[in-house]
A and B are shown apart, each in its own frame.
Chain A
Amino acid sequence: MKVSYFPGCTLKTKAKDLDLYARKSAEVLGITLEEIENWQCCGGVFTTAKDEVATKLSSVRVLKAAKDKDQALVTVCSACHNVVKQTNSAMQNDKEFADKVNRYMGEDGGYDGSTEVYHFLELIRDVVGFDKVKEKVVNPLNGEKIAAYYGCLLLRPGKVMQMDDPENPTIIEDLIRALGGEPVIYNQRNECCGGYVVMEDPALAESKSKKITSNARSFGAERMVTACPLCKYNLEKNGSDLPVVYFTELLAQALGVKEECK
């Protein structure tokens, strides 16, 4: 299966791992990620204001590029996913906003909000299936206790993201199980790490991240996984010494392709 892929800026720079492990693992799972041409940064955070149009155009262009190829659009980074998915939802549900956007799009042609957007985790769950993933595992995680850290952006706002139950998600735990690990369920897994406020108030990010990592540790976690470069940064910089890796690294490790990504 071929899908359009939007990696985003950070996956080309500080979070190259997140991208490389995703690409290699996708190959093993029979998915071809076709990178969108000439994509631009999503802006990192979605602006909920209805009169913010220009800041959402890069996402609309990515959505339209996938639509023009008649493909689903796949993201890996939690932040890109949140921005692209919320923009798509605004194109579907806010007619005044969609009209303004389409006037900007000019000769590129309009976009109607009809692209299907998947986070890589959803692609694994809904298109590949966890059973199939399990069959492909060559290096099972041998019961390692792993804490899934969802943070905010994958899950909220729930009625837009529609990935999972925003207060009791299971998608990453199910993946950990399929890879032979033992998921650790802990209270702070969908609370905020401090996000970009680390630029404004590092102490706030530190207190949030510490709370999360110490909570995961107290439930016996040996490693944490995330889909977000900024969560990883905050948890590692400001949290405890608990190792934090991308979910794609865990996947590549279990599928036996991690070394090829080096």
Chain B
Amino acid sequence: MSHGNNNLKEELLRISGVNPKKCMRCGKCSATCPAYDEMEYHPHQFVVMVEEGNIEPLLNSDSLYKCLTCFACVERCPRGVEPAKLVEAVRLVATRRQGANHLKPDDVPGKLDEDLPQQAIVSAFRKYTK
């Protein structure tokens, strides 16, 4: 079990390029996160929990789909930890699992209105599916 988690942790660190040891737990990333109220786990918790190998709760959390990729946490972290890259890595590990696409093509027509730019649809597919 712990071996599996270690592999997963290594994979997340490798594909994100993030070093969670640089984090000083100041919480500034979460304080500035515009999706804070909607998230079960906040950006600083992604950093801490990945470092601890406590990754399964993150993989199963809707928080992955609330991140706006606004890069505010990346810009404003005083230690250059870049939490959004870790959120993205966890989301990719989740959506790459077979059958785990978060957005189904059949759901899209119900979400459209005549003004919605194409950009919203391609972006959502890139973030929510594999």
Contact = CB atoms under 8 A, between A and B. Distances in A.
B16 A49 contact: yes
A196 B69 CA distance: 9
Interface in B72-130: 72, 74-75, 82, 84-85, 88-89, 92, 102-103, 111, 113, 115-124, 126-128
Contact of A14 (B74, B118, B128): B118
Given A156-B70, A197-B68, A204 B116 contact: no
Interface in A19-44: 41, 43-44
Contacts of B28: none
A9 B119 contact: yes
A163 interface: no
Q: Which of A13, A15, A233 has the most CB of B within 10 A?
A: A233
A178 interface: no
B53 interface: no
B8 interface: no
Given A50-B14, A152-B70, A157 B119 contact: no
Given A158-B75, A200-B128, A233 B117 contact: yes
B121 A201 contact: no
Interface string A207-220: 01000000000000
Q: Which of A45, A48, A49 has the most CB of B within 10 A?
A: A48
Contacts of A208: 34, 68
Contact of A157 (B66, B74, B89, B113): B74
A166 interface: yes
Contact of A229 (B65, B69, B117): B117
A52 B119 contact: no
A10 B118 contact: yes
Given A192-B72, A196-B123, 8 more contacts: A10-B119, A44-B120, A44-B123, A45-B123, A48-B82, A50-B17, A200-B103, A201-B65
List 10 A-B pairs, minimum CB-CB distance, nearest first.
Answer: A44-B123, A196-B123, A156-B71, A192-B70, A199-B124, A229-B117, A44-B122, A152-B70, A10-B119, A14-B117
